[in-house]
């Protein structure tokens, strides 16, 4: 399957998704959000996908958010356009969040608006040294979407999340690291190799266990201690029946590196 606004490639268990609108700083149109939904569904249902990398084309922007030019062109019909856009975008975020394969956001430049939402929803984030992060929603009289208000309030805390939204301050890559929005900042010359190394490491891991860990973290945000521990029990018992668990235990006893099949 080919896409008009995205590039997709699956290599050695790693799905590489590149938002491909560099002239528009990889801003998302309705068509782009629909394609993002389609590719998220593809990654979440393909057992051959064991890690996913999401990035932007070029070296200036990861994703500048929704295409404000399209908003201006449809100013008299903005509410129905936003309804359609968020329907696709939110389904994409949901698929990425609940799929077994870990999602790496490789932030190669500016991340704004919906771009920050994609960063916040990712499992791990590597940013290039010159990357910048800003909300930009209230700057044009809009409010956050794309799970931003859910994940950012949990990652940054409510005070910093509101500061981010209300002042539209721009975070440097280093500030984003200090705030906990990204996991690692690397120099431009090392960026691709660092992303590739992490993606390959995850693709060789126990994919079902990764998916289970993702679910536990997500669901634990809104539950009691006892309910979460019961969920942990059920999850680890279920994982105990997998081929990867058996392989992991054998490898530990035999003092060798495990060879996980993702099953």
Catalytic residue among 67, 123, 145, 244: 145
For residue 1, the model assigns a pLDDT of 76
| Nearest partner of 25 among 131, 122, 121, 96, judged by Cα | 131
| Residue 159 lies inside a defined structural domain of this protein | yes
CATH code, domain with 236: 1.10.12
pLDDT tens readout for residues 63-94: 999 999 999 998 999 999 999 999 999 999 99
Domain identity same for 239 and 168: no
How far apart (Å, rounded) are the C-alpha atoms in residues 78 and 84? Answer: 10
Domain holding 228, by residue range, is 207-253
For residue 221, the model assigns a pLDDT of 87
CATH code, domain with 150: 3.90.226.10
Number of folded domains in the chain?
A: 2
Domain identity same for 212 and 236: yes
pLDDT tens readout for residues 110-144: 999 999 999 999 999 999 999 999 999 999 999 99
Predicted confidence band at 236 (pLDDT cuts at 50, 70, 90)?
very high
Domain identity same for 44 and 149: yes
Query: What's the whole-model pTM score?
Result: 0.95
Domain identity same for 141 and 13: yes
Catalytic residue among 90, 123, 192, 259: 90
Would residue 145 show up in a list of annotated catalytic residues for this protein? yes
What value does the mean pLDDT take over residues 228-238? 96
pLDDT tens readout for residues 177-210: 999 999 999 999 999 999 999 999 999 999 999 9
Domain identity same for 55 and 79: yes
pLDDT, the chain, mean: 97
Domain identity same for 18 and 144: yes
Cα distances (angstroms) measured from residue 121 to each of 72, 133, 205, 227, 252: 27, 14, 21, 24, 33
Domain identity same for 241 and 167: no
Characterize 68-81 residue by residue with b for buried, 16 or more Cβ atoms within 10 angstroms of its Cβ, and e for exposed: bebeeeeeeeeeeb
Would residue 259 show up in a list of annotated catalytic residues for this protein? no
Domain identity same for 91 and 214: no
């Amino acid at each position: 399957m080919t896409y008009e606004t995205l590039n997709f490639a699956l290599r050695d268990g790693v799905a590489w998704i590149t938002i491909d609108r560099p002239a528009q700083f990889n801003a998302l149109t309705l068509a782009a959000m629909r394609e993002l939904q389609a590719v998220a569904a593809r990654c979440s249902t393909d057992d051959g996908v064991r890690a996913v990398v999401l990035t932007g084309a070029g070296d200036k922007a990861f994703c500048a958010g929704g295409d404000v030019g399209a908003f201006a062109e449809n100013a008299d019909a903005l509410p129905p356009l936003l309804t359609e856009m968020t329907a696709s975008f939110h389904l994409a975020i949901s698929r990425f969040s609940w799929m077994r394969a870990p999602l790496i956001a490789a932030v190669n430049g500016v991340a704004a608006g919906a771009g920050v939402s994609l960063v916040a929803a990712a499992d791990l984030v590597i940013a290039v040294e010159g990357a910048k992060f800003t909300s930009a929603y209230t700057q044009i009289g809009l409010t956050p979407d794309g799970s931003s208000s859910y994940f950012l309030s949990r990652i940054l805390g409510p005070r910093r999340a509101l500061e981010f939204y209300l002042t539209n301050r721009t975070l440097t890559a280093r500030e984003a690291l200090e705030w906990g929005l990204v996991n690692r900042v690397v120099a431009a010359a090392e960026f691709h190799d660092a992303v590739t190394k992490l993606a390959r490491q995850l693709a060789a891991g126990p994919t079902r266990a990764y998916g289970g860990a993702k679910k536990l973290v997500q669901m634990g945000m809104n539950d009691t201690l006892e309910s979460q521990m019961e969920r942990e029990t059920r999850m680890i018992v279920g994982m105990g029946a997998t081929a990867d668990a058996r392989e992991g235990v054998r490898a530990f006893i035999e003092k060798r590196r495990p060879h996980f099949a993702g099953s």
